[in-house]
């Protein structure tokens, strides 16, 4: 029993060392860590049976300090732009909440892989946002756009490579 526990603790330490290689980390307790990723304040909550169960990765709201699962946050953010761009983009190949790394978790996965997934979601969201605002700017009625027709707009937008199949 004691050796089992230390094995798990060793694995947690190795995983956290990998995370520390990328981001500043603050330890709240042996099972709770704050990670300061470039654009996010994240909190890792480690389940007692790690690595046999995925960690909980939460995004901490900078103003309210409320915590939400990164899956919920990006499902909402990405879903918002897909909703407003429907008709322009094919629907995404899959749903985030049904396909994230925790769904088919295996002990071979590391904590850093979960954070990397969040970073990919963030890039996906940024690409959609850029596309959305470029389209808004191009289609808004003003002197600049008077001579731009729909085909030209579509042509310009094809230069913004939005990852639609993630």
Query: What residue ranges bind Zn ion (CB under 5 A)?
Result: 95, 97-98
Q: Which is nearer to Zn ion, 33 or 81 (CB)?
A: 81
CB of 95 to Zn ion, least distance (A): 3
DSSP β-bridge partners for residue 86: 89
CA dist list (Å): 72 to 18, 56, 75, 118: 25, 12, 5, 11
Of the candidates 117, 119, 133, 118, the one whose C-alpha atom is nearest the C-alpha of residue 81 is: 133
DSSP H or E segment with residue 67: strand 67-69
CB of 120 to Zn ion, least distance (A): 17
CB of 158 to Zn ion, least distance (A): 29
Q: Which is nearer to Zn ion, 97 or 101 (CB)?
A: 97
Q: Which is nearer to Zn ion, 16 or 96 (CB)?
A: 96
């Amino acid at each position: 029993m004691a050796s089992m526990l230390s094995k798990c603790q060793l694995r947690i330490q190795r995983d956290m060392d990998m995370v520390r290689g990328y981001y500043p980390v603050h330890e709240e307790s042996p099972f709770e860590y704050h990670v300061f990723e470039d654009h996010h304040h994240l909190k890792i909550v480690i389940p007692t049976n790690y690595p046999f169960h995925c960690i909980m990765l939460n995004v901490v709201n900078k103003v309210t300090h409320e915590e939400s699962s990164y899956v919920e946050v990006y499902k909402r953010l990405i879903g918002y732009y897909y909703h407003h761009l429907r008709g322009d983009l094919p629907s995404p190949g899959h749903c985030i909440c049904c396909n994230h790394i925790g769904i088919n978790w295996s002990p071979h996965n590391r904590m850093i892989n979960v954070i990397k997934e969040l970073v990919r979601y963030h890039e996906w969201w940024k690409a959609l946002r850029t596309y959305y605002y470029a389209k808004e700017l191009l289609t808004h009625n003003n002197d600049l756009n008077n001579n731009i027709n729909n085909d030209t707009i579509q042509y310009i937008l094809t230069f913004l490579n939005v990852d639609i199949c993630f």
